[in-house]
Chains A and B, each alone.
Chain A
Amino acid sequence: MRNVLNDAEKAKNKKAPLGTDITIENYSKEDISVYDVIDDLDDLSKKDKDTLISVGVDSEEKQRSGSFVQFDQSNIFANTLSDNIEVMNTGVAKDKYPWLKDYLWNAVKPDQDKYTAETALREEKEDVYSGYFIRSKPNTKEVFPVQACMFIADKDIMQTAHNIIIAEENSELHLITGCATGSDISSALHVGVSELYLKPGSKITFTMVHNWAEQVEVRPRTGIKLADNTTFINNYILTSPVQCVQSYPTAYCEGKNSRALFQSVLSGQKTSNIDVGSRAILNHESSSAEVLSRSVANDESKIYARGDLVGNVPNVKGHLECNGLVLSDESSIYAVPILEANSSGLELSHEAAVGKIDEDEIYYLTSRGFSEEEAAAMIVRGFLNMDITGLPPALAESTKKMIDMSVKGM
C-alpha cells in the first residue's frame, strides 16, 4: 500500500536531478479560495482573455468540448460541453469518485523530488486539491478538444496543480492546455503534476503551450500509462522567455501495440534556461515510441533537449530525433539523446543535428527576392513550425495556427 504522506515527507528536501534547485520557501502559498468561481469565461477581463487565447484557450469556447481554468491555487471555472467528456476539479472528482484514489500518484511518484512532494503534502496535510480531472467516457470519440489553463495571477506564489486525465476504453480525448502568467507578474513558481491513463484502445493527444513571464520557474511532472492498443501524442510548445523550465514527461508503454509520440518546439530567448526531455519506457512487445524536438537558441538562452528511450522487451521500436539551431554566440543547445536496450531483438535509434542556419537555404530564398534577414527569419519559423501529427483536422489547423502565432511573436 502506498503511503503518500510518508513518501512525500521523506522527499521534502529531495533535489531534482535536473534543472536549477529552487528554494520553495521563497515562494508563498495561496489559498484555494482567493479567486471566486466564475460562471462564464466571458467574465474574465479583456487582458486575461487575451493572455488565455495566446496559449490556445478560447474564452468563447468555440469548438471545445470543455474548459477548465485555474488562477493561482483557485479553480475558478470547470465546464463540460459534451456528453462524451467530464471536466471538473480534482478535489471535486475525488469526492465524487472513490476510485480516483487509485489514479492519484500512480503514474508520478510523490517522492520523485521536492516539487512532487510539496504538491502531495498540500493535498495530504491541508486538503488542497487544485488542478483538473478530465475523463473521456468509454467508446466515445470527441473531436473537439478540452481546453485547460493554469494561470498565475499573483507574484511570488508557488502554484501547484494535480491533473488526472483518463481515456476510458476505446475512447478518444484531445486536450489543449495553456499555461500563462498575468502581465505584471515578475516572479513565481509553477509545479504541475499530470497523470494520464490510457485504457485499452484509447487515444489521447495532449498539446501544451507555455507562455510564462521571464522570471517564472516551471517544474511540470508528467507520467503517462498506456494499456493495449493505445496511442499517446504529446506536443509541447514554448516560444516565450522564461526563467527556467525543467520537465521530463515519461510514458510507460505497458500494453501491446501501445505507442507514444512526443514532439517539442522550443525557442530559447533572453536568459531562458529550458530543459525539456521526453522519455518512453517500452515494457511490452510491439510497443513503440518516437521523440522529435526542434530547438532554436537565441540571445543568452540555454536549451537542453533530452530524449530517453528504454527498451525492456524484444520487438519494441523507438526513434529519437533532435534538431537545433544556435543563433547567437552566447546561447547554447545541449542535445542529449539516451538509448537503453535491455533485451535482444529491439530497435532503438537516434539522430541529432545542432548547428547554424544553412547558408545555401538563405541564398536560395534571396534568389527569390527575400532579403537575408527575411530569409533567416523565415527559415527559423519554418524549422520550428513542425507538422503536428495525430490531431483531428480542425484541431490540427488551429494548433498549426497557434504555433505559427507564437513563432511569429518571437
Chain B
Amino acid sequence: MLLEIHNLAVEVEGKQVLKNVNLSIAEGETHVLLGPNGAGKSTLFMTILGFPKYHVTNGSIIFKGKDITNLSTAERVKLGMGVSFQNPPAIRGISVENLLKYESGQNEEDELNPRMKSLADKLKFNDDFLKRDVNLGFSGGEVKRSEVLQLLAQRPDFTMFDEPDSGVDIENVELIAEELNVILDKQKKISERKRAGLLITHLGYILNFVKADKAHILMNGEIACSGNPDEILNDVRENGFKGCVNCAQCTQ
C-alpha cells in the first residue's frame, strides 16, 4: 500500500472532526472522497499533509511503509506528497514562477526550464502570468490551473486534489482533467501506473474525465461506505447523502 490510514481521530481547535477513519490507497490508484459539507473531507486532507492545526488524537498514517503521523508537512512533501488546494492563499511578492522553480528543483536565478515553460503554455499561462504574485487576484480557473501546474513541477507520488473543478468553466475543466491524468499516471497501462491520488469533488463533474478506481463517503467523521465510484456517485446523485446516513447507521 502507498498510503494507509488506521483508526484516525483528529481534533481541530478542540473540536473532534474525524472519529475513526480507515483508508488504504495502493500505487497507481485514484480514489474519490465524497461527503456532505462539513463532513471533514478537507480536514482529512490537511491531516494527511500534516498541518499543525490538525491534531491526531488516535490512529496513524503510513506512507510508503513509513509512519508519518508525526512528521512535518515539508518532510511529508519530500517523501512524495502533493496537494492542490481549493482556496489557496494569495502571497504578495512570491510569483508562480518562483514556486515552479523551487518545486522543480531549479535555482531562483536560472531561467525557468523548458519543460515547465511548455507545461505553462499548455495550461494557458504566459510569461506575464508566471511573474504575477501567486493567487493574487486570480480567477477561480486560474487558481486551479496554477495549482495543477505546480503539481506538474513537483511530480508527487501521491496527490490530493481538493475540489479541482469548483469555480472552473467547462472548457477549463477538461484542460485541468487532462493534466490530472498525467499527474495520476492515467496515460500509462494499469499495470505500469505508480502515482496515486485522492480527489475531493462536490459535483463529480471532473470524474467524467478522470477515472477513479474507488469512491468513499465520509460521514460523521468516518468512512461510511466505499465501493465502485459510478455506483456510489449515482446513488448520491439520486438520493443525496441521506441514504448514506441510514447506511452508516446500519453498519454501526
Q: Measuring CB to CB, which residues of chain A are less than 8 angstroms from any residue of chain B?
A: 358-361, 363-372, 378-379, 381-386
**10 new A-B contacts at CB < 8 Å, known A370-B74, A370-B102, A386-B93:** A363-B73, A366-B72, A367-B73, A369-B103, A372-B72, A372-B74, A379-B94, A383-B92, A383-B93, A385-B93
Cross-chain contact B77 with A366 (CB below 8 angstroms)? yes
Give Cα A379 to B92, complex, Å: 8
Please give me the residue from chain A that is nearest to B131 by CB atom: A387
**Choice from A364, A369, A372 contacting B88 with Cβ under 8 Å:** A364
B interface secondary structure, majority = mixed
Are A379 and B72 also in contact (CB < 8 A) when A367-B77, A367-B83, A368-B154 are? no
A371 touching B49 by the CB < 8 A rule? Answer: no
Residue of A nearest to B50 (CB): A366
CB–CB B154/A381 < 8 A:
no
A361, A367, A383, most chain B CB atoms within 10 A: A367
Shortest Cβ-Cβ A-B pairs, 9 listed: A382-B93, A366-B73, A369-B77, A382-B94, A360-B89, A385-B93, A371-B74, A361-B89, A361-B91
Bound form: Cα–Cα A379–B88 in Å: 15
Q: B115 an interface residue at 8 Å Cβ cutoff? A: no
Mark B44-55 against chain A: 1 for CB-CB distance below 8 A, else 0: 000001011100
Nearest CB of A to B154, in Å: 7
Contact assessment for A368 and B91 in the assembled complex, using a CB-CB cutoff below 8 Å: no
Across the interface, do B85 and A364 meet the contact criterion of CB distance under 8 Å? yes
B78 within 8 A of A: yes
Complex Cα gap A382–B90 (Å): 11
Check A384 against B89 for contact (C-beta < 8 Å): no
Report chain B residues within 8 Å CB of A361: 89, 91
Bound Cα distance A366, B72 (Å)? 9
Q: Is the CB of B83 within 8 A of A381?
A: no
From residue B231, how far is it (CB to closest CB) to chain A in Å? 33
A331 to B133, CA, bound (A): 28
Cβ 8 A contact of B77, one of A358, A368, A383: A368
A-B contact pairs, 7 of them (CB 8 A): A361-B89, A363-B52, A366-B72, A368-B77, A371-B72, A381-B93, A386-B93
Question: Does B69 sit within 8 A of A, measured CB to CB?
Answer: no
B83-133 residues at the A interface, CB under 8 angstroms = 83, 85, 88-89, 91-94, 99, 102-103, 133
A358–B103 touching, CB < 8 Å: no
Please, how many angstroms separate the alpha-carbon atoms of A408 and B83 in the complex? 29
Instruction: Report A-chain residues with C-beta under 8 Å of the C-beta of B92.
Output: 382-383, 386
CB within 8 Å of A: which B21-76 residues: 49, 51-53, 72-74
Q: Are A367 and B72 touching (Cβ within 8 A)?
A: no
Most chain A beta-carbon neighbours within 10 Å: one of B72, B102, B150: B102
Assembly CA distance A372 to B51 (angstroms): 11
Contact between A368 and B102, CB atoms less than 8 A apart: yes
Which residues from chain B contact A366 at a C-beta distance below 8 Å? 51, 72-74, 77
Q: How far is the CB of A375 from chain B (nearest CB, A)?
A: 8
User: Chain A CB within 10 Å — which of B51, B82, B133, B150 has the most?
Assistant: B51
In the complex, the answer to whether A358 meets B89 with C-beta atoms within 8 Å is: yes
| Cβ contact within 8 Å between B72 and A369 | no
B61 to chain A, nearest CB (A): 15
Residue of A whose beta carbon sits closest to that of B150: A368
Task: Looking at the assembled complex, report how far the CB atom of A187 sits from the nearest CB atom of chain B, in whole angstroms.
Answer: 34
- Whether the pair B74, A369 counts as a contact (CB closer than 8 A) is yes
- Bound complex: CA of A239 vs CA of B74, how far in Å? 29
Q: Measured between alpha carbons, how far is A379 from B94 in the docked complex, in Å?
A: 7
How many Å lie between the Cα of A66 and that of B155 in the bound state? Answer: 50
Task: Tell me which residues across on chain A come within 8 A of B88, comparing CB atoms.
Answer: 364
Q: Which residues of chain A are within 8 angstroms of B91 by Cβ–Cβ distance?
A: 361, 364-365, 379, 382
Residues of A within 8 A of B94 (CB): 365, 378-379, 382
Contacts of A386 in B (CB 8 A): 92-93
Nearest-CB residue, chain B, relative to A380:
B93
Q: How far is the CA of A247 from the CA of B105 in the complex (A)?
A: 43
| Contact in complex: B89, A368 (CB < 8 Å) | no
Residue interface mask B142-157, A partner, CB < 8 A = 1: 0000000010001000
B78, B89, B93, B102 interface centre (most CB from chain A within 10 Å) = B93
In the assembled complex, the Cα of A23 lies from the Cα of B196 at a distance in Å of 70
> CA of A371 to CA of B50 in the docked complex: distance in angstroms?
12
A384 to B92, CA, bound (A): 9
Q: Tell me the minimal C-beta distance from B102 to chain A in angstroms.
A: 7
> In the assembly, what is the distance between CA of A379 and CA of B93, in Å?
7
Q: Which B residues lie within 8 Å of A360 (CB)? A: 89
A365 to B52, CA, bound (A): 13
Q: Which residue of B lies closest to A360 (CB)?
A: B89
Residues of A near B99 (CB, < 8 A) are 368
Query: Which residues of the other chain, B, contact A359 by a CB distance below 8 angstroms?
Result: 53
Shortest distance from the beta carbon of B80 to any chain A beta carbon, whole Å = 10
- B residues near A382, Cβ cutoff 8 Å: 91-94, 133
B93 x A384 contact (CB < 8 A):
yes
Taking a contact as CB atoms under 8 Å apart, the answer to whether A369 and B78 are in contact is yes
Query: In the complex the two chains form, what is the Cα distance from A382 to B154 in whole Å?
Result: 22
Instruction: Tell me the bound Cα distance from A383 to B102 in angstroms.
Output: 18
Contact A367–B93 (Cβ < 8 Å): no
For A371, list chain B residues within 8 Å (CB): 72, 74
State whether A363 touches B51 (Cβ < 8 A): yes
B34 → chain A closest CB, angstroms: 23
CB of A369 within 8 A of CB of B154, answer: yes
Q: CB-nearest residue of chain A relative to B51?
A: A363
- Residues from chain A with a CB closer than 8 A to the CB of B102 are 368-370
Determine how close the nearest CB of chain A comes to the CB of B46; give it in whole angstroms: 8
CA of A97 to CA of B224, assembled, Å: 88
Q: Point out which of A366, A378, A381 has the most chain B C-beta atoms below 10 A from its C-beta.
A: A366
Given A378-B94, A382-B94, A364:B89 Cβ within 8 A: yes
- Docked pose: A385 CA to B93 CA in angstroms: 6
Give complex CA distance A365, B93 in Å: 13
In the complex, what distance in Å separates the CA atom of A211 from the CA atom of B243? Answer: 68
